[in-house]
Amino acid sequence: LESLAQSVGTPFYCYSTAALTYNFEAFENALNRRNSLICFAVKANPNLAVINTLSSLGAGADVVSEGELRRALAGGVPADKIVFSGVGKTREELRYALGKNILQINVESLSELKLLSEIACEDGVEADIAVRVNPDVDAITHEKITTGRQENKFGIDISAAESIYEYASSLPGIRPAAVAMHIGSQLVDLEPFRTAFKRLRELVTALGGAGHQIRRIDLGGGLGVSYNKESYDVPGPELYAQVVNEVFGDTDCTLMFEPGR
């Protein structure tokens, strides 16, 4: 570190390629799934070297803006491994994402769904979408980073999801291909994951019964890390993967994950 400081000056950020590689492979090996896609949440760290390191290991990217999408592409992430999440996407951002032919857009509202259909028709393309559902589960984390309760601004109420998918199927330029959720960040208790995953599994089963071809299930991210040797136990990827396999172990759908920190 002293040598780097003398070389580049201070202050500076120093990232460990070995640590990034170790953590990614630990997550990947814990899942031990043939049909899975790990999409690094770019909002956690948009440094191009970080993105490029993870991309070289096979990671995709979860982005929440055109800027993050541009950085993911610049960092070497293939477009067919990029998912565009987040509220408040603009017309220009959606058009840019469609033009890059990314894997899927996670739609957060009925108005966004209608806007995306309009843009897709104007541009003569079809958009693979997931509806981000809100499972109304308390993530038991900090108030400012919980996103899966009914009163949070994120996603569509899971009770309305079936009718939304029916409507989406009728829209031109829209191809419902996935279901998505993300209940919050820095979770150190696995029970909220288990509860939310079960509700999502029920929805996927119901959608299949209604004739929808759901090929991917996006489980979001949020697994916590230890910063200051906290007194509580922070579950690692192995325990998280046990919950995933408990609920989704027999599904043929591709499971998507969006780990960040």
| 164-214 confidence digits (pLDDT tens) | 999 999 999 999 999 999 988 888 889 999 999 999 999 999 999 999 999
pLDDT score at 230: 64
pLDDT score at 89: 96
pLDDT score at 231: 59
pLDDT score at 225: 87
pLDDT score at 153: 57
pLDDT score at 228: 79
pLDDT score at 139: 53
Residue ranges of the chain with per-residue pLDDT less than 70: 138-154, 230-232
pLDDT score at 149: 44
pLDDT score at 226: 84
pLDDT score at 144: 52
pLDDT score at 34: 79
pLDDT score at 145: 43
Q: Kindly report the number of other CB atoms within 10 A of residue 148's CB atom.
A: 28
- For 17, the token pair is 């390629």
63: burial class by Cβ within 10 Å (0-12, 13-18, 19+)? buried
pLDDT score at 130: 97
- Which whole-number Å values give the CA distances from 257 to 37, 71, 169, 185, in the listed order? 6, 19, 25, 13
